[in-house]
Amino acid sequence: MRRTAWILIGFGVLLLVLAALLRFVVAPAATKLPSDTDTTTTYSGKGSVLNVAALQSGDVANALARDIPVTLDRHVYVSDSDGDTAIVHDDGTLKAGSASSQNNHTYAVDRTTMTETAPINGVQVEQHQGLTVTMPVDPQPTTDIYTYWDSVTRQAVPVTYIGTEDRAGRETYHYRATASGALADSALQQQLPASLPRTLAPRLLALLPTQTQQQLAPLVAALPPQVPLAYTATSTYDVWADAKLGAPLDTKINRSVVANVILGNTVLPLLPVLAVDVTEDQASVADAASRADDAALKLDWIELWGPIVLLVLGLALIVVGLLVGRRPPEPPVDAPTARVDAGSPAAT
C-alpha cells in the first residue's frame, strides 16, 4: 500500500478517535456545573419589614414598614471544585428603604445532579438535601422527581412541574416549591427579637388583625414580663429553568415570616415581621437567557455537531486512503534508446 494511503488512513483514524473523545469524554464534563460559575441576579417587588430598634424602644407606630419597595441581590458563585464536587455560595442581600440585611449560605454540590454531596478541602458547608441554586442539565418536565432545599425552614420540599413557558426567547420548564414550618435559619433568627416586653402588648394590639386582638386582649394581664416569641415561615419559589441547560432564567420568591406568641402550650400568630414578594428583573432575565444561548451553542457543538463533523471527515479520509491504496501502481517508463548515426565511430 502506498505511503500516501497510510497517511490518509492514519489521519482518518485520528479524527475518529477525536470524535469519540469529544462526545464521550469532553461532553459529559461540559454538562457539569462550571467551576467558574459567578452570577448576580436582581429581584424587586414589595415587602413588609420589622424595625426591631423602633419596636424595642416602644415606637410601635414605626415598628413595621408595610408594602414598601424592596430589592434582593443574589450572588451565586463557585469558590472551589474538585472532580464532581463544587463549593457553591448563595449570598443574598435584601434592601428595604435605608435598611439592608444579608443572608449567606454555602453548600457542597454534586456538579452533575446539583444535589448534596460531601464537602472538599475542609470547607465548612451547610448540610442540606436536594437542589439549591440550579436544576441539572436536561431537567425532566414532571412532578415529584426533584426536591428543593428551603434554607429558611431547613427542610427539603417537593418540586411541582407547572408547565412549559417561554422566557426571553428560550423554552423553560416552570417549577414551584412551597415550604412552611418553624423558622430555622440562624441568620434570620438573629435579626428578630426572641421576646418582647409585656408593656408593649397593649400598643401592639392595634397593629394586629381583629381576630388576634380578640384572642390576646383578655390574656394581656397574665403575660410574663418578657413575652417569648416563636417564628414560623412560609416560602413559595417559582423557577423557570432552561429546558436544555436547567439554569434558572427567571425566578419569583414570595416569603412571609410570622411572629407567634407562646402562651403555655398555645401558639397564637401575632403579626408578619418579614414579608417579601419579589420577581427577577427583566435585565437579569435577559442576561441569563444570553448566557444560556452561548452555553447551549457550545454544548451543541461538543455533544453533536463537533463529533459528527470529525466522524464524517475521518471516514472520508479512510475511504480515500483505501482507494488510493488499492489503485495499481503505474508501469515504469522505459528509458529512450540512444540513436546511432551511420557515420559515427560506433557504426564502424
Regarding whether 217 and 94 lie in a shared domain, the answer is: yes
Least confident of 77-91, 101-115, 329-343: 329-343
Kindly state whether residue 150 falls inside one of the protein's structural domains.
Answer: yes
Q: Are 140 and 271 members of one domain? A: yes
- Decide: 110 and 129 in contact? Cβ < 8 Å: no
Q: Give yes or no: residues 176 and 270 share one domain.
A: yes
Cβ contact 341:46 at 8 Å: no
Shared domain for 94 and 120, answered yes or no, is: yes
The count of structural domains within the chain is: 2
What are the tens digits of pLDDT across the range 161-193?
999 999 999 999 999 999 999 999 998 898 888
Judgement on whether residues 11 and 143 belong to the same structural domain of the protein: no
What range does the domain containing 310 cover? 1-30+293-327
Is 65 part of a structural domain of the chain? yes
Q: Which of 236, 238, 241, 237 is nearest to 288 (CA)?
A: 241
Q: Tell me what the mean pLDDT of segment 292-315 comes to.
A: 88
Residues 6 and 83 in one domain: no
Domain-embedded: residue 263 = yes
Domain match, 162 and 310 both: no
What 3-state class would DSSP assign to 266?
strand
Residue 209, domain member (yes or no): yes
pTM given for the model: 0.82
Q: What pLDDT, on a 0 to 100 scale, did the predictor assign at position 5?
A: 80
Mean local confidence (pLDDT), 9-28? 84
Region 203-209 average pLDDT: 72
pLDDT tens, residue by residue, 118-129: 999 899 999 999
Domain co-membership, 176 together with 65: yes
Are both 120 and 158 inside the same structural domain?
Answer: yes
| Residue 117 falls inside a structural domain | yes
Q: Is residue 288 part of a domain?
A: no
The answer to whether 108 and 129 have CB atoms below 8 angstroms apart is no
